[in-house]
Amino acid sequence: MNNNWLKENTFHHSEFKEIDRLVEEKIRKNLTIALCLPTLNEEKTIAKEIIIIKSELVTRYPLVDEIVVIDSGSTDNTRKIAREYGAGVYKATDILPGLETFKGKGENLWKALYITKSDIIAYLDADIKNIHHRFVYGLVAPLILSNNIKFCKAFYDRPISTGKNKIRPTGGGRVTELVIRPMLSLFFPELTQIMQPLSGEYAGYREIFEKIPFPIGYGIETSMILDIYEKWGLDVMAQVDLDRRVHRNQDTKALGKMSFVIMMTFLKRIEKLGIIKINKSMLNEMIQYNLVHNNYKADVFKIEGIERPPIIEIPEYRKKFNIS
Amino acid sequence: METYLDKLPLFIDTIKSMSETIIANIVFIGQEPAPTFKEQKRANLFMERLAEAGVDECSTDGYRNPIGIIRGTSKTKPPVFVVAHLDTLLDTDVDYNFTIKENFIQGAGILDNSVSVGVLASLPEIFRKLNLRFESDIVLSGPIQSMGKGNLRGIRHLVKTWATPIRGAVCVEGSELGRLNYYSYGMNRGEINCDIPDSGKWENRFRPNAILILNEVINQILQLSMPQRPRSSIIFGKISGGFKHGIIAYDAKLGFEIQSDSDKMVKKIYTDINDIVDGISHENGIDLKIQTISNLKASKLNYNHPLVKSSVAIMKKLGLQPISDPSESELSIFLSKNIPAVTIGITNGKNYHLENAKMAIDPMFKGIAQLVGIIMAIDSGVCDE
């Protein structure tokens, strides 16, 4: 196991606070950078993310060239607000309309590859309450400054907002510690060095993202790490400590569904890699129970586990980017 | 004056074009909790933002008030101060993360006074964008320890220890847009504490009730005669006490403020209240104490002072109707040192002191244009009598 990775490829955002240096290097290398915010009903946080990034990393330091919001069909004012504050706003269903439509974060990230033009794409969840431009420059800095690193993942000390405007000082990462870390320990111990493999913020080169499949839902973070690891190895990856991230808390049932999808993605991946053989086809329903009027009622969550192929295989994409 | 007055309405659109920078500063600074006496992190952030905006001289004074100085073109003109108190009323355990929608920003402390501090941090870039240079140095400061028990200590220190004369000052508050304060009442803010010791014995049930004692204090204060001239009043602003519904209250606290345009009258009323407290304490054999939390001397500019007249003209030019009330804030410290000063509001809002305080975004741009106009007026000499 390569234990040096943790030491050599782990950064703290404060190492990159001289943003003008990043801009210089970006220009020298002739790179462009896009920020993608996948959304579904994020009207409370989307404006702040756009404003902070535009103010600090477009106007003050020209580090980011594109800001796009890819929306899964919000029923609140997410798209209107995002447009108002100057982001490029797209409904996921309007992108590549000739393809079958799916709904999910992974779908939005995949379609962002088609919509954006830049060499580097940074993905941020749109529910970050304490957004700061370090979330972007911290993620893209290792990609700009290093010649080897092609993918960079965030990790945090994450307090959870518990409602009623009170903040609990520690917590979060339950699915990481109870699901993905045990799985990685069993099959890919090197990858346990990634502190928060499920964090929703990462950046990478288009040349990496366009060559891997994207599950349409929660499994995207899991599959992405496994696929990049398998294709290019650990050394193209880095992680950056972005300090604190305040986000919405999710209840245990929601985390249960998330865990279901992550386990499904993980098991499919390791079977495909020939690491294990599952002698029974996996079911696609997560069953949880609610007590309704003194009766237990099943709450069935169906997940198809659909994946988009590497986008480089899509003719429209190849045409847009002149790939023969 | 006419020349810059005419420019003011045009400033609004230019300032609006910088909305991302201004809102980003408000958010960065406002999301850092800064209850009175715990402002250090926000002070550092304020200076960082000024430095980021290209202000070369960012530092703190001996009391840790953060200051940024934009150097003027004249070596002889005294500086113009622009101040917005840094501290907030709410403690650190509330969520200071703001929500931004199309027309408003919501969050703890946004109106009092994060929006103003964020605007101050944006001024260097606003001046550049408006192509403005001043003769005077512009001193941008977020004084600490302003509210409540802070008793304006930060601004008192800043003004007292500033080495040169000060040409004039603008104090900036979050709301309401249209306020124009140019006089301060004399003020004494105090607390009356009633503590009834627990003997731990059965006769406890017959001991005096602290809430009823304070009720008696209030009744006797209400019997004091308040003169129409000099205009004077007593405000009961805070009260707390007791433990639970079925138990006689053994402690209670009353917060009050005496206001008058005569310092002598403030002193006389305070003495009267002190006598009431002593009397009730003696008659009931209990521990009833009065203490002063903060105080200010009455001070004012006349309505026909050029700074007031210019401020009124600026506001009217921008379509604002000036509303004047007394203000017990940084303003009184400047005025008490004979430094011409006014307090203005930056925008409109609601839930002023609540966790869900809300400020309107659009009026803020007019509020900033007004602030820039008053700084220009001072720089043009309206305070140089």
Worst-scoring range by mean pLDDT, A199-208, A243-252, B103-112, B238-247?
A243-252
What's the confidence (pLDDT) of residue A170? 40
Categorize the per-residue pLDDT at A155 as very low, low, confident or very high, splitting at 50, 70 and 90: very high
Q: Kindly give, in sequence order, each residue whose CB lies less than 8 Å from that of residue A139, ignoring residues fewer than 6 positions away.
A: A122, A152, A153, A154, A201, A202, A203, A240, A242
Give the list of residues 6+ apart from residue B208 with CB closer than 8 angstroms, or none.
B196, B284, B286
Specify the higher pLDDT residue, A250 or B80.
Answer: B80
- Rounded Cα distance between A198 and A221, Å, is 5
CA pair distance A316, A115, nearest whole angstrom: 11
Note whether A45 contacts B98, CB cutoff 8 Å: no
pLDDT at A168: 47
Which chain A residue lies closest to B18 (C-alpha atoms)?
A: A55
Token pair for A191: 């990858």
Q: Do B31 and A54 touch (CB under 8 A)?
A: no
Q: Please give the order of strands across the beta sheet that includes B251-260.
A: B232-241, B251-260, B186-195, B287-296
Q: Do B98 and A48 lie within an 8 Å CB cutoff?
A: yes
Residue B9 has pLDDT above 90, yes or no: yes
In chain B, what are the domains? Answer: 2-184+298-379 (3.40.630.10), 186-296 (3.30.70.360)
Beta bridge mates, B175: B347
Q: Look at residue A169 and tell me whether its pLDDT is greater than 50.
A: no
Mean residue pLDDT across chain B: 93
Contacts of A114 (CB under 8 A, 6+ apart): A95, A96, A311, A314, A316, A317, A320
CATH number of the domain enclosing A186: 3.90.550.10
**Does the pLDDT of residue A199 top 70, yes or no?**
yes
Distance in angstroms (rounded) separating the CA atoms of residues B87 and B304: 33
Q: pLDDT-derived band of residue B199, with 50, 70 and 90 as boundaries?
A: low
Q: What pLDDT does residue A158 have? A: 57
Residue B243: its pLDDT value, please? 87
Give CA separation, A139 vs A34, A79, A289, B22, in Å: 12, 25, 40, 25
Which of helix, strand or coil describes residue B65? coil
In the predicted structure, residue A161 carries a pLDDT above the cut 80 = no
Please check the confidence at residue A167 and state whether its pLDDT lies above 80: no
Highest mean pLDDT among A128-132, A192-196, B27-31, B326-330: B27-31
Based on the number of CB atoms within 10 Å of its own CB, is A137 exposed (0-12), middle (13-18) or buried (19 or more)?
buried
Q: Which amino acid is at B57?
A: E
Q: Does residue B28 belong to the interface with chain A, where contact is any CB pair within 8 Å?
A: yes
Q: Judge whether B84 and B146 are in contact, CB under 8 Å.
A: no
Q: Is the pLDDT of residue A290 over 70?
A: yes
Let me know: does A210 contact A310? Beta carbons within 8 Å: yes
SS (H, E, C) A241-280: EEEECCEECCCHHHHHHHHHHHHHHHHHHHHHCCCCCCCC
Inter-residue contact B347 to B115 (CB < 8 Å):
yes
Binned at pLDDT 50, 70 and 90, residue A118 comes out as very high
pLDDT of B107 reads 95
Average pLDDT value over all residues in chain A: 92
Closest-CA residue of A relative to B32 is A130
**Gap between the Cα atoms of B109 and B135, Å rounded:** 34
As beta bridge partners, residue B54 has none
Report the pLDDT value the prediction gives residue B169, as an integer from 0 to 100. Answer: 98
Residue numbers in A near B27 (CB within 8 A): 48, 51-52
In contact, B364 and B346? CB cutoff 8 Å: yes
Kindly indicate the confidence band of residue A152, based on its pLDDT and cuts at 50, 70 and 90: very high
Q: Domain tally for chain A?
A: 1
**Nearest CB to B100 within list A47, A56, A161:** A47
The lowest-confidence range among A271-285, B30-44, B268-282 is A271-285
Q: Give tens-digit pLDDT for B12-40.
A: 999 999 999 999 999 999 999 999 999 99
The amino acid present at A251, given as its one-letter code, is D
Residue A159 makes CB contacts below 8 A (sequence gap 6+) with A167, A168, A169, A170, A171, A172, A244, A246
Neighbours of B367 (CB within 10 A): 30
Q: Please state the rounded mean pLDDT for residues B145-168.
A: 94
Query: Does residue A172 carry a pLDDT above 60?
Result: no
Q: Is the pLDDT of residue A247 over 70?
A: no
Checking if the pLDDT of B258 tops 70, the result is yes
Please determine, for residue A156, whether its predicted confidence score (pLDDT) is greater than 90.
Answer: no
Res B66 pLDDT > 70: yes
Domain that includes residue A37, residue range: 4-320
pLDDT band at A73 (very low <50, low <70, confident <90, very high): very high
Window from B234-238, B314-318, B326-330 with minimum mean pLDDT: B326-330
- Average pLDDT on B262-281 reads 95
Residue A165 has pLDDT above 80, yes or no: no
3-class DSSP state for residue A2?
A: coil
CB contact under 8 A, B20 and A55: yes
